Structure formats: structure tokens, C-alpha cells
């Protein structure tokens, strides 16, 4: 047995964070390096004395930036308690106070002093003109801030919070701080714009005048005119949520509980739309069903009717969104449908329930968390979607496009954008609470530590037939749309000159060999590599943050948990456009100055897509019995080990979903990206949009097709790497294996 000697133990985590803090303060450049986060030219360029690269302590020694000096105090204090016992009240008090004070001072000086001296006039009034300035924080400040944060959480843990569990308290603290920094701070800043008057003051009347607007709340569609954007969005989102959830469930059932032979093919099909860059589905739908679309023209010839523009408006957006978001519902539901323990169903059948009764009274209710989460995601995605309404919306105005054009259109009205964003947020949050109420406090746990070697029963026949039919029709439709897309990338000018050509691929992706070796001469390579790189960095980070958050939400109880959950969902519910502009407003100036870098793209992807990881994680984790954790804890593992060795392996489907989704999203997202790309970091989607605007449909579609195949390969690779879940069932019906 392991022997523990508490008196001599110098808590390794504590030592680590104290050391990190000192390194940040003494050795690393305090301010951000203008050349980029991952450039190390500063090492030979005047470090450590040059003001731009100097660590904090060198700055102070040279008599500059003296406001950094007080940080020494909270940095030194924890050294006195390194060797004391955790139970010593002094230990907790010193760490808590030092961490909190250090962190608070760091924030205060960051916001108080900017590139033009004091940021607030009252500070100037109090202390006089500063005569100095500072730029964005760099490595040193970042590491010191983390150090203070984790000293603080260790102090809190030592006081006995969450049973003194350092891992859990630190994880909560970490998530709260990053969510506050990258979600609440920028969005709060933007929302303030709703109250700003023309003269720069604040007023509620401004908000009211923008809020009570007929373009927003008009109910004209009830008598033939047009409805406001708010009602349109709400109506659309409810239909899309319901449609995608039922289609997703159909697919999940076909894949997991039928003798259907082409399951793998169906799986691929359902994944296709999610990996499609924006605008492509819209363009394909127009070419099929638009005024001059193939299907429309054919239909008109056969039945002698006049072609119409029926696609533009609610029908078109609905079809496109259903195509695009059914896979998300599928990804959420497949984990849940496979996770429902067969023992329950077998028990029901032993008690003489027929297959239909079993499905209706046992299987379906156990899938409720999955259904609710799938609906919520569909609803939110539809609300925030921007590409499809832009292409197919016609006169059907929705909030997301209205927000975009309030910012970039001829109005330049950020206040209106903020008001619209608030309305949108209100809808999504309401949906979120309705979902929570519907799920209620019931338990949906079926995967326990006990032996569970059953086989899922097949679907009852009266369900199987309609489900298969729906899945079949939808599959055929998807194949047609994608066939059109691939075809479109090989023709001269889609819909006009239909001669086959490879020229679009050559323009985009040609490679030349010359005396310097390989030369990526195609016009798309730059944005292509950037996109891959950013997506590859963002995906694992997103999955990690998402799953840790999900773990905290399902497995731990702590004060303010609801607010915590709300915060993590917030960035998903807000349209990308608002996030994009918020990020520029918030992160273009110190203390965090990251616009124009790749970091801001990665960060925006993490916080945009994290909620999917959270949702998938919650859905899967609520099926895992707590006794698994408890037995692990009883056997002496701490909560980190439990998370790592017990929960994580059982969460493979959720991890996979989170990884796939965030990778793919990073490659296909557009609305936030438009604002955040820069010359050095241009993304594939913004390149594609530029091409579409310029009429180069062939090139745009060729690029999109390439991206689709790249993402397919990536998804397959991730599938391989993460592996599939094995819950000790007979292999008969378990897919894959």
C-alpha cells in the first residue's frame, strides 16, 4: 500500500503553479510579441532588457511599468505555506487571498491602463496623467494569471469546497474564467451598444425604440402581408428542430435496430451535409428547384404549369436547414439510442410486452435526453444559421441575416444588431429552459457497472416500415443534391455551359515542380492549409473543454451550477456575426490583443463549438451510472483518475462527436469567420464566399467538393483513432466492432 505522510508532502500541483507564476514574472516577456505568439525572434532581439520583450521584473528594475510591482506580494505569499498541511486553516487562507488579490490586480491594471494611458477619466482625475501606456498581455502575463487562478482554486479546495477535490475546483475555476473571458466579456460589451444613444450616452429609450419595431414583431403574415423577423425565426426554428430530431431518430433507429444492409452507406450519407461548406447546398437546391432549376423545368413541361419561385422563402430555407442539421441530431441520437441498455428492453419483453409496447414505453422514454438535446441543437442551429437564409430566404427575413446587415449593411446600426441579438438569445435560452423542464428530474441511467450483455431488439414492424421509407427517401434526396454538387465542380459554367472540364480544380489546386522543389501554385492552397491547421488545433481543445464541462455539470454539484451551464451554452446560441464583431471590439485592444492572429480564430471556434461537446457529453454521461465513479473513488482513485480511466473511455462516442463536429465546423463556419480572418490567416470559407460573389461558381464548388472529401477522410481517421465504444454486449447487433 501507498503510504501518505501529509506533513512532508509538498503538494506537487501547488509547487508547479507557484513555479509557473515565478517563471511568468521573472523570465517570460510580459507583453504580447507583435510578430506572433509562436515566433521566437525576441530571444535574440534585445531580450531581456528591450521594453517590448522584457519580463515584468526587468521592466520594474528599469523603473518602468511600476504598476506591475504589487504583483510580487501575492506571488511571494504562497511560498510560506508550501510545506504546511492542507488542513491547516492558514494554508487555505493564504492561497485564497494571494490568488484572488493577484488575479484581481492583474485584471484591474490590464483594463485600467491601455494604449493611451488610463482608460477611465476618473483614474486620470485621481492620479493625474499617467504619461505611459501598455499593450496586450503576452506569455508572462498569461502564465501568471493562470498561476494566480489555480492558487486560488487550491485555496478554495483546501477550505473544503467540493470535498476538497482540487481537480474539480480547478476545473470549475478554469472553465468559469475562460468562459467569462471569451464569452461574457465580448458579448456583454456588444450588448451595451443596444443602449448607446447617438451622442454616446446610455438610455433605455434607445433600446425600446429599437425593440418595439414592426419589422421585428409585425404579425402581418396572418392577413397576407409579412411577419416580423422575430416570428419568422421562431417559427422556422421550431419546425427545423422537430424535423431534424425525427429524421435523426429515424436514421439512428435504422442504423442500430434494423437489419438494414447498407448501414455504413447511410452513416456516411447522414454525415455528408454537416461537412458541406455554406452556400453549396443552397446553390444546389436553386439549380434543382429554382425558377430555372432542372426539376422545376421538367415538372413544368410535364404538367404544363408555369414555373414559380416557390423555393425562395420559408420552403427553401427549411429544406436546406433540414438537410444541414439532421446529421447533428443523428450524431447526438445515435450515442443515446445505442446506449439504452438492452437489459431493460429484454426485461420488458420477458414481462410479455410486445415489441411496439417495449419501444413506446421503455426505449423511447429512455431516449428522452437525446431527443431533447437533438431538438435543442436543431432549434439553435436554425436560429443562428446565416448562409441558407441569405441564399434562399427571399423575402422571408430572419433574425440572423437581419443582424448581419444591421452591422455591415447600409444602416451601420450596431445598436439594432445588439437588440436583435438579444431577441434571438432570448428565444434560444427559452428553448433551453423548456428542454430542461421537459426532461425534469427523472433518471435516464441505464449503463451501470453491472453485467449487461444484451442485444437491442429490432424495431417493431409498424415503426420499421415508415422509418425505413423516410430514411430511404431522404437518402435518395441527399444523394441527388450531392451528385449535383460534384457534377457542378466539373462543368464549365454551372447551368449555362455544361461542357466537362477540370479547369476549376487546376486553378485552385495546381502543384508545380520547379528548381526550388514543390511549388503550391494553386490559388486555394494558402487558405486551405490555414484552414486545416486552425481546425486541427481547435478540435481537440474544443472536445477537451466541452467534455470537462459536461463532466462537471453531470457529476458534480456546486453553487451556481445553473448559471454555469447557461454560460457555457451562451456562445452557441448567439449568431456568429455577433460573435465576430464582439471579438473584434473586445480583443483588438489590451489587455487581450489577438485580432489578426490565428489564435482568435481558434478561440472563436472553441467557444462556438464547445456547447456541442457539452451536450453530447451530458447526453452520454447521464446514461452512465454514478456507482461507476463511486466504486472508482472508493478504490482510492481521485476524481481526475476517475475521469481519465473510467468516464473518458465510456465516453468515446461523445468524444468522437465533439471532435468531428468541432473539426468540421472549423472548416465550414462562416458568419463569425468573415470578421476574424486576416491577410495571414484566410480561411477556406471566406475564400469561397469571395468566389461566389465574383461569379466563380465552378471554382467555389470545386473547392467545396475538395473540402468535403478532406473532411470525410478526417472523419474516418478520427473514427479510427478514437475507436468505437464497447459496452460488453454480444456483437450480434452492435454495429462496427
Cβ-based nearer residue to another protein, 44 or 635: 44
Q: Does 225 bind another protein (CB under 8 A)?
A: yes
Q: Does 589 bind another protein (CB under 8 A)?
A: yes
Tell me, by CB under 8 A, how many residues bind another protein.
Answer: 60
Q: In the stretch 376-415, what mask flags binding to another protein with x, by CB under 8 A?
A: --------------x--xxx-----x--xx-xxxxxx-x-
Q: Min. distance of Cβ 255 from another protein in angstroms?
A: 37
Options 125-133, 354-362, 631-639, 693-701: segment touching another protein (CB under 8 A): 693-701
As a 3-state breakdown, the chain gives helix, strand, coil percent values, each rounded to 5, of 70, 5, 30
Q: Does 189 bind another protein (CB under 8 A)?
A: no
For residue 724, give the nearest of 261, 254, 264, 342 by alpha carbon.
264
Instruction: Write out the three cell numbers for 663.
Output: 473539426
Instruction: Write out the three cell numbers for 508.
Output: 485552385
In the list 66, 115, 219, 473, the residue contacting another protein (rule: CB under 8 A) is: 115
129 CB-contact burial (10 Å; exposed 0-12 / middle 13-18 / buried 19+): exposed
Cβ-based nearer residue to another protein, 258 or 577: 577
In the list 581, 655, 664, 672, the residue contacting another protein (rule: CB under 8 A) is: 581
Q: Does 200 bind another protein (CB under 8 A)?
A: no
Q: Min. distance of Cβ 409 from another protein in angstroms?
A: 3
Q: Min. distance of Cβ 291 from another protein in angstroms?
A: 5
- The widest CA-to-CA distance across the chain, in whole angstroms, is 91
Q: Does 39 bind another protein (CB under 8 A)?
A: yes
Q: Min. distance of Cβ 587 from another protein in angstroms?
A: 10
For residue 160, cis peptide bond before it (omega within 30 degrees of 0): no
Which secondary-structure segment (H or E) carries 492? strand 491-493
Phi-psi region of 276 (alpha: psi -120 to 50; beta: other; left: phi over 0): beta
For residue 685, give the nearest of 504, 535, 491, 520 by alpha carbon.
535
Cβ-based nearer residue to another protein, 176 or 524: 524
Instruction: Write out the three cell numbers for 598.
Output: 490565428
For the chain, the C-alpha Rg in angstroms (whole number) is 28
Can you tell me which residue has the cell 460534384?
Answer: 486
3-state secondary structure of 176: helix
**What is the DSSP-derived secondary structure letter of residue 28?**
S
Which residues between 306 and 345 bind another protein (CB under 8 A)?
A: 309, 312
Which residues between 655 and 684 bind another protein (CB under 8 A)?
A: 674-675, 677-680, 682
Which residues between 474 and 513 bind another protein (CB under 8 A)?
A: 493, 495-497
3-state secondary structure of 542: helix
Cβ-based nearer residue to another protein, 33 or 157: 33
Cβ-based nearer residue to another protein, 373 or 507: 507
Which residues between 270 and 289 bind another protein (CB under 8 A)?
A: 286-287
Rounded Cα distance between 255 and 259, Å, is 8
Q: Angle at the Cα of 595 (from 594 to 596), degrees rounded to 5?
A: 115
Q: Among positive and negative, which fits the CA dihedral 445, 447, 453, 454?
A: positive
Rounded Cα distance between 170 and 14, Å, is 12
Q: Min. distance of Cβ 479 from another protein in angstroms?
A: 23
Q: Min. distance of Cβ 602 from another protein in angstroms?
A: 18
Instruction: Write out the three cell numbers for 561.
Output: 451550477
Q: In the stretch 521-550, what mask flags binding to another protein with x, by CB under 8 A?
A: --x---------------------------
Binding site for another protein (CB under 8 A): 35, 39-41, 43-44, 114-116, 214-215, 224-225, 286-287, 290-292, 309, 312, 390, 393-395, 401, 404-405, 407-412, 414, 493, 495-497, 523, 581, 584-585, 588-589, 593, 595-596, 674-675, 677-680, 682, 687, 690-691, 693-695
Amino acid at each position: 500500500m501507498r503510504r501518505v505522510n501529509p506533513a512532508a508532502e509538498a503538494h506537487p500541483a501547488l509547487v508547479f503553479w507557484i513555479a509557473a507564476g515565478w517563471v511568468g514574472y521573472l523570465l517570460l516577456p510580459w507583453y504580447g510579441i507583435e510578430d506572433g505568439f509562436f515566433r521566437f525572434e525576441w530571444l535574440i532581439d534585445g531580450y531581456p532588457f528591450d521594453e517590448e520583450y522584457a519580463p515584468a521584473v526587468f521592466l520594474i528594475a528599469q523603473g518602468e511599468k511600476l504598476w506591475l510591482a504589487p504583483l510580487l506580494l501575492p506571488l511571494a505569499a504562497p511560498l510560506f505555506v508550501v510545506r504546511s498541511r492542507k488542513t491547516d486553516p492558514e494554508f487555505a487562507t493564504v492561497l485564497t487571498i494571494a490568488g484572488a488579490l493577484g488575479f484581481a490586480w492583474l485584471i484591474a491594471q490590464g483594463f485600467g491602463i491601455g494604449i493611451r494611458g488610463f482608460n477611465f477619466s476618473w483614474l486620470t482625475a485621481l492620479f493625474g496623467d499617467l504619461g505611459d501606456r501598455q499593450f496586450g498581455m503576452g506569455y508572462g502575463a498569461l502564465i501568471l494569471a493562470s498561476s494566480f487562478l489555480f492558487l486560488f482554486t487550491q485555496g478554495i479546495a483546501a477550505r473544503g469546497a467540493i470535498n476538497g477535490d482540487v481537480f474539480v475546483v480547478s476545473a470549475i475555476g478554469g472553465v468559469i474564467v475562460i468562459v467569462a473571458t471569451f464569452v461574457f466579456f465580448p458579448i456583454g460589451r456588444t450588448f451595451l451598444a443596444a443602449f448607446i444613444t447617438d451622442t454616446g450616452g446610455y438610455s433605455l429609450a434607445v433600446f425600446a425604440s429599437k425593440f418595439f419595431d414592426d419589422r421585428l414583431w409585425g404579425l402581418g403574415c396572418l392577413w397576407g402581408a409579412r411577419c416580423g423577423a422575430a416570428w419568422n425565426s421562431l417559427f422556422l426554428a421550431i419546425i427545423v428542430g422537430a424535423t431534424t430530431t425525427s429524421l435523426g431518430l429515424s436514421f439512428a433507429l435504422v442504423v442500430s435496430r434494423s437489419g438494414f444492409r447498407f448501414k455504413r452507406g447511410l452513416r456516411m450519407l447522414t454525415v455528408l451535409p454537416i461537412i458541406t461548406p455554406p452556400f453549396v447546398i443552397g446553390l444546389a437546391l436553386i439549380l434543382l428547384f429554382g425558377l430555372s432549376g432542372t426539376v422545376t423545368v421538367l415538372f413544368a413541361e410535364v404538367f404544363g404549369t408555369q414555373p414559380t419561385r416557390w423555393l425562395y422563402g420559408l420552403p427553401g430555407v427549411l429544406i436546406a436547414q433540414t438537410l444541414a442539421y439532421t446529421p447533428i441530431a443523428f450524431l447526438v441520437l445515435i450515442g443515446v439510442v445505442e446506449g439504452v441498455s438492452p437489459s431493460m428492453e429484454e426485461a420488458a419483453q420477458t414481462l410479455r410486452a410486445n415489441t411496439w409496447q417495449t419501444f413506446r414505453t421503455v426505449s423511447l422514454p429512455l431516449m428522452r435526453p437525446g431527443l431533447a438535446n437533438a431538438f435543442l441543437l436543431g432549434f439553435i442551429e436554425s436560429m443562428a444559421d446565416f448562409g441558407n437564409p441569405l441564399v434562399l430566404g427571399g423575402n422571408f427575413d430572419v433574425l440572423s441575416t437581419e443582424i448581419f446587415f444591421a452591422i455591415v449593411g447600409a444602416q451601420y446600426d450596431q445598436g439594432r444588431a445588439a437588440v436583435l441579438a438579444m431577441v434571438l438569445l432570448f428565444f434560444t435560452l427559452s428553448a433551453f429552459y423548456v428542454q430542461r423542464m421537459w426532461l425534469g428530474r427523472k433518471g435516464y441511467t441505464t449503463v451501470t457497472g453491472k453485467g449487461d450483455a444484451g442485444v437491442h431488439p429490432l424495431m417493431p414492424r409498424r415503426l420499421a416500415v415508415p422509418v425505413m421509407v423516410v430514411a430511404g427517401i431522404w437518402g435518395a434526396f441527399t444523394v441527388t443534391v450531392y451528385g449535383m454538387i460534384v457534377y457542378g465542380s466539373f462543368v464549365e459554367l454551372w447551368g449555362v455551359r455544361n461542357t466537362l472540364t477540370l479547369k476549376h480544380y487546376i486553378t485552385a489546386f495546381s502543384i508545380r515542380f520547379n528548381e526550388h522543389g514543390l511549388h503550391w501554385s494553386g490559388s486555394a492552397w494558402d487558405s486551405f492549409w490555414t484552414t486545416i491547421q486552425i481546425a486541427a488545433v481547435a478540435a481537440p481543445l474544443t472536445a477537451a473543454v466541452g467534455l470537462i464541462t459536461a463532466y462537471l455539470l453531470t457529476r458534480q454539484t456546486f453553487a451556481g451550477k445553473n448559471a454555469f451551464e447557461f454560460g457555457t451554452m451562451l456562445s452557441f446560441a448567439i449568431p456568429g456575426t455577433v460573435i465576430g464583431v464582439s471579438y473584434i471590439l473586445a480583443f483588438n485592444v489590451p489587455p487581450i490583443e489577438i485580432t489578426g492572429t490565428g489564435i482568435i480564430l481558434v478561440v472563436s471556434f472553441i467557444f462556438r463549438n464547445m456547447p456541442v461537446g457539452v451536450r453530447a457529453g451530458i447526453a452520454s454521461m447521464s446514461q452512465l451510472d454514478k456507482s461507476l465513479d463511486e466504486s472508482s473513488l472508493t478504490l482510492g482513485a481521485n476524481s481526475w483518475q476517475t475521469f481519465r480511466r473510467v468516464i473518458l473511455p465510456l465516453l468515446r462516442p461523445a468524444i468522437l462527436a465533439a471532435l468531428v463536429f468541432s473539426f468540421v465546423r472549423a472548416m465550414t463556419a462562416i458568419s463569425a469567420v468573415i470578421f476574424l480572418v486576416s491577410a495571414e490567416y484566410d480561411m477556406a470559407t471566406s475564400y469561397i464566399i469571395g468566389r461566389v460573389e465574383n461569379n466563380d461558381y465552378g471554382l467555389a464548388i470545386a473547392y467545396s467538393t475538395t473540402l468535403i472529401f478532406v473532411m470525410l477522410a478526417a472523419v474516418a481517421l478520427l473514427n479510427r483513432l478514437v475507436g468505437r465504444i464497447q459496452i460488453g454486449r454480444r456483437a450480434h447487433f452492435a454495429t462496427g466492432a
